[in-house]
Every structure is written in C-alpha cells, then in structure tokens.
Amino acid sequence: MNTIVNIAKLFKSAKEIFPFHGGVHPPENKAQSTQLPIGQLPIPEKIVLPLRQHVGNIPKVKVSVGDYVLKGQLIAEAEGTVSAAIHASTSGIVSAVSDAIIPHPSGLPDRCITITPDGLDKWIEKTPQDWRNAERKSLVASLRLSGIVGLGGATFPTHIKLRADGKSGVHTLVINAAECEPYITCDDMLMRERADEIVKGITIAQYLLGAEKVIVGVEDNKPEAAAGLKSAISELNAQIQVKIVPTLYPSGDARRLVHLVLGTEIPYDKRSTEVGLQVFNVATVVALYRYFELGEPSISRIVSMTGNVQNPQNFEVLFGTPMLHLVQAAGGAKANTTHFIMGGPMMGFDLPTAEVPITKAANCIIAASPSLFAPPPPAMPCIRCARCADACPVNLQPQELYWFAKSDNFEKANDYKLFDCIECGACSYVCPSDIPLVQYYRYAKSEIIALDKAKEAADLARERNDFRLARIEREKQERAQKHAERAQAGKAEAAKTETGTKAEPKIDQSDEKLNTNNGLSSGADDAKKAAIAAAIERAKALKAAAKSESTSEATTEQKVKPKKSAPDDDDAKKALIAAAIERAKAQKAAALAAGNAPKNVADAAEPVKKEIEEIEARRQSVGLAEPKEAALNKETELIKPNNTDAAADKQALIAAAIARAKAQKAAADAAKSVQSDSKTEKE
C-alpha cells in the first residue's frame, strides 16, 4: 500500500511544476515562422566571421589573407580559459582579416575574418569520436577545438561548462527548450525536425557531466516539439524526462527554468553547478552531437527569420552569412521595414546596420516596422502602481530601482539588488506610464561598475603614495644615520692621525672596518626591516586575497557565475605570484640577517634608486589606468627598498615585468568576464 502511495508521490513530483513569481505572457507571434520547415540557404558570396562571437577572450587567428581553407577548418583558436574557437563555415580563400561592423548593440566594428567561398563547400576530414569509450577529460579537452558555445543566446563557451571531468557533482542536467520569447521558433523547429539529434546530444552531455537525471523543460505552446521529443526519447530508449511548463515569459531564463522543473532556487551568489545542476540549450546539445558523432565543429545554427518579411521561416545558416542573404531567402523585407532586431522583442537589440553577419548568438532576426513595434509613447511619471513588481520574475521592486537609478542613488539601488535584475523587460512591458525601466537599470549597472573601478584605482593610488612617502622618509633617516656614523668615524680617525701612525692604510682599514660595522649594523637593521617588510607583505597579500574575493563576489553579482572559473584561475595565479614574491623576499631577508649585507650601500644605491624611482613613476601612471596591474606592481615594489645591489634590482625588474604581463592578462580576462553580463544566464 505504502509503495503505491510512494509511487504516486513520485509520479506527482515528476509532473509537478514550481511556478516562479511574476512573469508576463506577451502575444507569442510564433505561428508565422513555423509554417515552413527549416530551410537551407545557398552558399553566400562572402562569409564574414567576427572573432568576438562568444563570451570571453578573442580567439587567436591562425590563418592569413590568401590562405585556402576547408569547411570546418579551425581558423582561430581559443585563447585563454574562457574563449572559443572559430571555424571556416565553408571552403574558400581568406580574403581579409580586418575590422567590420558586427551584430552588437554598440554598433562598433570589430576584428573579422572574411572568406570568399569557392562554392565547393569542401569539408575537412571529419573525425568522429567514440565518446562512449573515451575518457571524459580528453573529450572535454577536445571540445575546446569544437567552437561550441551556448546557442540559447548566451554564447558562453561550452567546454568550460563541461570542465567537470565527471567529478562535477552535477546530478541533474536541465535542458532548456522553453524558448519563452515571442517570435523566436528556432528551438521549436529544431525539436520538431531533429529530436533524435537532440536526444543523442543530451546523452553525450549527460555522459560528460556524469549527471544521473535529465529533465527537458518545454513550454506548453510547443506541443508538436514536445511530442517529437518524447517519441525520439522512447525510440532511443533514453532516460530523459520531459516537463511541460506553462507559457510564461521568462521561463527560458536558466534560473527560472530550474525553479520551474525542480523547485530549486539557485542562490544568487552561486552557479548552478554549485548546487549540482547544469543547464544546456537544445541547440547546444545538437552541436555536441554533431561534434562528437559526426566530427563537425560548430559552423552553423538555426535562425528564425521573421517579422516584417514576406515568408517568415527558420533557416540553417552558416556562421558569417550576411544577414541580408537570410532576409532575401525569406522573400525579402516588406516595404515599411525600418530596421532589424536581433533576438526577440523582449531582450533583443537593434542591429546597427543590415550589413552584419549571422553569428553564434543569432537565434532570431526580426524585420521591424512601426506597425509591428510602435514607438513607445512619451514616458509619464511613475504612479507607483507596482505592476512591475508583480511582473518581476526575480521579485525585485522595479519601481524603487527606477527611483534610485533616476536619482543616481546607486548605493540604494545596490541595496535593492539591482544586480539581480536579468533585464528581461517584463517590468517595462507592463508599465502603464511607458517608462523604459530596463534602460535605467542598464545605466545604473554600468555606472556602478565604473564607479567601483574608479574607486579601486583611487584606493590603490593612495595606498601606493602612502607607502612611497613612508619609504622616502625612512631612507632619509637612514642616510642621516650613516652621515652621523661617518662623521663619528672621521673624528676617530682624526684622533688616530694625531697619534702619528700612517694615515693611508689606516683610513682604508678603518673605512673597511666602518663599512663592515656599517654592514653589520645595517645587517641587523635589515633583518628588522625585512621582518617588517615581510609582515607588510603578509598583510598586503591578505588584503589582496580579500580584495580578489570581493571582486569575485562583485562579478558574481553581475551574474558572471558560469565564467567564474576564469577569474578563479587568475586569482589563483595571482596568489601564486604573491607567494613566490614573498618567498623570495624571505630568502633575501634571511641572507641579509646572516650578515651578507652588501657593502657601500648608500653609494651604490643612489643611481639605482633614481632609476627605480623613474620606473616607478612610469608604472604609477600605467597603474592608474590598470588597477590590477598596479596591485601586482605594488607587490614587486616591496622588494625595492631592500633591493640595493644591481643584480637584485634587475631581478626585481624582471619580476615586475612578468607580473605586469600577468596582470594585463588577468585584467583582460576580468574585463571579458564582466562583459558576459546577465545574458550568460540565458543559456
């Protein structure tokens, strides 16, 4: 009897949906683009592949102008931890590596590789992998060459999400097939037509993660897709659960979807993997399938071409295909088309021009017209009706955040969890006063990030200045002391000369003696100094650690969770560098304490010091621009006060140079990770 009850309970929980707060249900407008099957495009006359198609570092170009490349050939390789490779999407000749406008809200040009196709569409030799019998580690390593990124729009490199090598603690894999934004139907069509590829891809992802359970979340407005998926699952005998969730925007947001299907609320400061979960988009798992089972890298995706075009349809599009090519394939844009939107009407953005290529992030292109998207009426004052708060899927208070953002009260905005905002636009969608709320939040976020950076730089500059002043003061005292000692020695010598003994050798001797004395005393001094320096160093290291922790916290707040692995690495690297510097210093201090003090300290040090100061001044100016670099320089700087012989100085310079290089890299990585922004969440 009990077992029956238990089974019933299990059955119930399997069916159960855990709604999130808020959400909106805009007109779906999905039917238009699902009338026709996924179309294929002819090979375009040119392919423009931006290097920046994903979150993270720009990949390193491996071809040069004039090279002949085959379809699927790696033309740019992943650089650093968070990066993705880029492959030629057809065969042809590399005709340019230059700047061109990329599909990005900024509208700025960026580095692109242009290929003139030869029309043969000739593949490289495909190397499918026997993934079932391969080690997870090597599979994930090979994924770095696949160019696969999250195709739900987040474009986060997939190999990092899979870095787990089986010990990830990921017990449940959630497949995001919600596709909650209006107009977009690329995942819907993919599920209808290629459900078997999805199921096979899921099996691969599950194997790579070592996940016990897989749940696919599909909105109930895609019954055909869900049915196709279910039949493919039973055909392939896979252990995958399909959960139908109510159609409610933004159920396709990763955190919302996890809550919907599992009832788990991922803490704001944790990544999904930290609670044993991982989320993949359906299109991403298909890319996994194609890579491992067919040996095809990521060179194309399904794109919904819809809105104000003659025949809205989904197409399989090679990356780098000019967008207008796609528009033509859909019968061309209607006469009153004003511009094009990439993404959906809730979170998409205006394309700067129609002359942009299709990239990995392009899930949907909407031809916009005033009749489809009427320009918003002028904003009225907020009447505090709190409809936005009712609609917010994060349960924020948008009306308060608006108030704080508008009055530049950033501290308060932070207190009210501005950085938890996923910019889904539900608040603006329901605002009776037509206030562009999300724009205010974007503005406040960017201002807060900029202010934080400026503050960090100012703090470092102040710290460095304080330290420098203290050092100058100490050196002054040391010189004064030496002068005094010298004067005393001179007196003693004068006394000796009076006794009538030979002056010259004695002076030498006494000089030597003096120096030795000096050396000894400074040796003792140096030991003390070294101890102090070591203590300061320790304190600084602690502070740096604390700071890096808080920075990583800040980044967490900015929703860069999935990429945190990179900053973590950098932090680890930094910590190692700091430790190494400290060790070196301790060794030096020990040497000094043992009486190995260099002779003629003051004399030898003067020019060197001058040089150091020059270098330092230079660094300081750089350091102001690059706070992270300054942080590391500061650590190396500690060597200088004790660093009195030329050799050591050289060493310090080398160390500084290395540190600087590392810091630059770290800064670059950090900058990249910040860029990823909340979109990362929408895997």
Partner 1 sequence: MNRSPYISNAPSVGSIMFKVLLALVPGIAAYVWVYGGGILVTLILATITALIAEAAMLKLRKRPIQPFLMDYSAVLTAWLLALAIPPIAPWWLIVVGTFFAIVVAKHLYGGLGYNPFNPAMIGYAVLLISFPVLMTKWPAALQLAQTPLSFGDQLHLIFSGVLPQGVQIDAVTSATPLDYLKTQLMLKHEVGSITQAPVFGVLGGKGNEWVTGAYLLGGLYLWQQKIISWHLPTAFLAALAMISGVFWLVNPAHFASPLFHLFSGASMLCAFFIITDPVSGPTTPKGKLYFAAGVAVIAYLIRVYGGYPDGIAFAVIFMNICVPLIDAHTQPRVFGHEK
Binding site for partner 1 (CB under 8 A): 20-21, 24, 26-27, 105, 107, 182, 255, 259, 265-269, 341, 343, 345-350, 352, 368, 373, 376-378, 380-387, 389-390, 393-397, 399-400, 416-417, 420, 425, 428-434, 436, 438-439, 442
**Ordered alpha helix ranges (H), 162-306:** 186-193, 195-209, 223-235, 254-262, 282-289
CB of 93 to partner 1, least distance (A): 35
d(CA 297, CA 157): 13
Mapping DSSP to helix (H, G, I), strand (E, B) and coil, where does residue 71 land? strand
* Of 69 and 421, CB closest to partner 1: 421
Instruction: Return the DSSP state at 243.
Output: E
CB of 103 to partner 1, least distance (A): 12
* Of 107 and 295, CB closest to partner 1: 107
CB of 327 to partner 1, least distance (A): 18
CB of 234 to partner 1, least distance (A): 35
* Of 286 and 346, CB closest to partner 1: 346
CB of 113 to partner 1, least distance (A): 26
CB of 142 to partner 1, least distance (A): 34
d(CA 474, CA 481): 11
d(CA 28, CA 476): 75
CB-CB contact of 140 with 162 (8 Å)? yes
d(CA 110, CA 97): 10
CB of 385 to partner 1, least distance (A): 4
* Of 41 and 346, CB closest to partner 1: 346
* Of 210 and 436, CB closest to partner 1: 436
Q: Please calculate the CA angle 225-679-260 and round it to the nearest 5 degrees.
A: 50
Question: What single letter denotes the amino acid at residue 252?
Answer: G
CB of 341 to partner 1, least distance (A): 7
CB-CB contact of 58 with 87 (8 Å)? no
Polymer length in residues for the chain: 683
Torsion-angle region of 165 (φ positive above 0: left; ψ -120 to 50: alpha; else: beta): left
* Of 77 and 390, CB closest to partner 1: 390
d(CA 19, CA 669): 37
Question: What single letter denotes the amino acid at residue 266?
Answer: I
Instruction: Look up residue 463 and give its two tokens.
Output: 């710290």
Integer CA distances (angstroms), 145 to 55, 62, 79, 149, 169, in order: 16, 13, 11, 11, 25
Peptide bond into 44 cis (omega under 30): no
Instruction: Look up residue 340 and give its two tokens.
Output: 């094009």
Residue 404: alpha-carbon gap to chain centroid:
27
Question: What single letter denotes the amino acid at residue 43?
Answer: I
CB-CB contact of 105 with 54 (8 Å)? no
Mapping DSSP to helix (H, G, I), strand (E, B) and coil, where does residue 594 land? coil
Q: Which residue has the tokens 């819907």?
A: 188
* Of 159 and 387, CB closest to partner 1: 387
Phi, psi of 476 (to 5 degrees): -60, -45
* Of 49 and 394, CB closest to partner 1: 394
* Of 91 and 433, CB closest to partner 1: 433
CB of 380 to partner 1, least distance (A): 6
Beta partners for 99?
111
d(CA 484, CA 510): 16
* Of 156 and 402, CB closest to partner 1: 402
CB of 392 to partner 1, least distance (A): 9
CB of 387 to partner 1, least distance (A): 7
Instruction: Look up residue 675 and give its two tokens.
Output: 């860029």
Strand order in the sheet with 86-87: 60-61, 74-77, 86-87
* Of 366 and 589, CB closest to partner 1: 366
* Of 60 and 417, CB closest to partner 1: 417
* Of 427 and 544, CB closest to partner 1: 427
Query: What sign does the dihedral 499-502-508-513 (CA atoms) show?
Result: negative
* Of 106 and 239, CB closest to partner 1: 106
CB of 664 to partner 1, least distance (A): 29
Beta partners for 305?
313, 365
CB of 426 to partner 1, least distance (A): 8
Q: Which residue has the tokens 């290929």?
A: 115
CB of 250 to partner 1, least distance (A): 11
For residue 510, give the nearest of 524, 491, 531, 489 by alpha carbon: 489
